[in-house]
Amino acid sequence: MLDTFDTVQADLHGGRAPWGRGMRAPNNSPLSQSIKTDVLVVGGGITGSLATQHLAARGVDVIVVDREQPGLGSTAASTAMLQWEIDCTLGELTEFYGFERAAQLYRRSVAAVQGLTALVEGLGFDCAFRPRSTLYISAGEAGPSALREEQLLRQRAGLPGMALDHRDLLSRFGIDRAAAILSPGSADADPLLLSWGLLRDAQARGARLIDAMVTAYHDAPGSVTVETDGPFVIEARHVILATGYVMPDFVRSDIHRTASSWAIATVPQAAGTLWPGGELIWEASETYNYARTTTDGRIIIGGGDDDTVDPAARDNKMPEKSEKLVEDLVKLWPAANPAIDFSWSGAFGETDDGLPLIGAVPGMPRILAAYGYGGNGITFSFMASRILAELCAGQRQDWFDAFAIDRPSPVA
């Protein structure tokens, strides 16, 4: 994990992504006195934004604190493919935890995207949010038989989708792969506009956005006192750590690791040259590429993930990673104009079972954390915002244990 105090937003991503449309982050204020609140959210990216908006909508007094402009860390590097499908397939999760538990987790992921869709539609702000289907296409050792087995499990779990063979995939989508699973119920968006829109809505409901750096946490039986880089402190009944890959030293998980991913966005494509429904495309392999379109007609393709953690080393790889992504794009979609307008890289966290880490920090019941989302960042962020709000209200449910920060690895 990256160092809490030495890491800044620029360390979490490099290059430039096509998000924000020239808009500015919500205004924040300096901490001018010591204050108290019900819930303090540390981190103003997408997880912090979702948690803050949800808490404020429930009438909770909430403060979000960020030492830099909200959203310009890992959120700015997201490709914002809001999928309900998890990095670990239903088959893999079934091997880890049994079918019933695995199916329940997948159904909760479907519900998370549905909930996020309803939230954005209800609030009505523009963040280029679009319902999308996904195409999970064969790659590497995952051929037609593996995808058929996965789809049969999904049908058994009541999940939406259908198997496509080579002929169907080629005739309907123009994609030359052996097989795929086509599934409705996902979405895409501009992650910065989504995050900022949520924060502005929270501010309108009374949430306060503070510009400060947290330097220490003191967990007591009835509250948590947070020191800052100034002379003032913040006291809260609960603290939510939404700091992504820059968690304090006391937050540790044996099943989490930090890695890096790279992405490019092409120039806007000529009319009629994108795949028909703008589906979110991802490959059925352990290290996979993923692709989507944008509202202004670009193609985004990402991948090339590896275990690079050092920001300089990650960014130095950008030219070769971008070149490889162009090659992969042309193979996937030969009609593409592969000229690059944007290229970027970012840190991301992953776990052994593809599930996030959400819940109370072991030994510190009033300090809650959410991270380790893998390829499902915003979907799991929405889920985290709901789980953490329930925990702050003292409403724990048994299924939350699936995301416990100190859970053991299911991998032998």
For 96, counting Cβ atoms within 10 Å of its Cβ (0-12 exposed, 13-18 middle, 19+ buried), the class is middle
- Comparing CA positions, the residue from 279, 286, 291 lying closest to residue 332 is 291
Region 171-200: what's the mean pLDDT?
97
Residue 398 lies in a domain: yes
- Comparing CA positions, the residue from 359, 366, 350 lying closest to residue 406 is 359
CA-atom Rg of the chain in angstroms: 21
- Comparing CA positions, the residue from 47, 192, 50 lying closest to residue 129 is 192
102 vs 141 pLDDT, higher one: 102
Cβ atoms of residues 376 and 87 within 8 Å: yes
Residue 240 lies in a domain: yes
Contacts of 185 (CB under 8 A, 6+ apart): 84, 110, 113, 114, 131, 133, 160
Q: Which residue has the tokens 């009609």?
A: 335
Region 116-132: what's the mean pLDDT?
97
pLDDT at 380 over 50: yes
pLDDT in tens, 305-321: 898 888 889 889 999 99
153 vs 76 pLDDT, higher one: 153
Residue 343 lies in a domain: no
pLDDT at 249 over 60: yes
Q: What is the dihedral of CA 345, 347, 349, 354, to 10 degrees?
A: 0
pLDDT in tens, 43-90: 999 999 999 999 999 999 999 999 888 887 889 889 999 999 999 999
Cβ atoms of residues 367 and 343 within 8 Å: no
pLDDT at 330 over 50: yes
Residue-range definition of the domain harbouring residue 62: 9-78+192-254+354-403
The DSSP annotation for 325-391 comes to HHHHHHHH-TT----EEEEEEEEEEEETTS--EEEEETTEEEEEEEE--TT-HHHHHHHHHHHHHHH
Helix (H, G, I), strand (E, B) or coil at 109: helix
Q: What is the CATH number of the domain that holds 43?
A: 3.50.50.60
What's the pLDDT score for residue 13? 61
Amino acid at 330: V
Average pLDDT, the chain: 93
Q: Which residues pair with 216 in a beta bridge?
A: 227
Residue 325 lies in a domain: no
pLDDT at 1 over 50: no
Cα distance between residue 92 and residue 90, in whole Å: 5
Residue 321 lies in a domain: no
Q: Count the domains in the chain.
A: 1
pLDDT in tens, 252-289: 999 998 888 999 999 999 999 999 899 999 999 878 89
- Comparing CA positions, the residue from 77, 31, 36, 102 lying closest to residue 410 is 102
pLDDT at 12 over 80: no
Residue 324 lies in a domain: no
Residue 386 lies in a domain: yes
Helix (H, G, I), strand (E, B) or coil at 150: helix
pLDDT at 10 over 90: no
pLDDT at 94 over 50: yes
- Comparing CA positions, the residue from 75, 131, 175, 128 lying closest to residue 294 is 128
> 7 pLDDT band (50/70/90 cuts)?
very low
Percentages helix, strand, coil for the chain, rounded to the nearest 5? 30, 30, 40
Residue 399 lies in a domain: yes
Cβ atoms of residues 388 and 396 within 8 Å: no
What's the pLDDT score for residue 310? 86
Contacts of 376 (CB under 8 A, 6+ apart): 83, 85, 86, 87, 109, 356
What's the pLDDT score for residue 5? 45
Which segments within 172-319 are labelled E, that is strand? 179-188, 208-211, 214-219, 224-228, 233-241, 256-266, 280-284, 290-293, 299-306
What's the pLDDT score for residue 8? 46
Contacts of 171 (CB under 8 A, 6+ apart): none
pLDDT at 216 over 60: yes
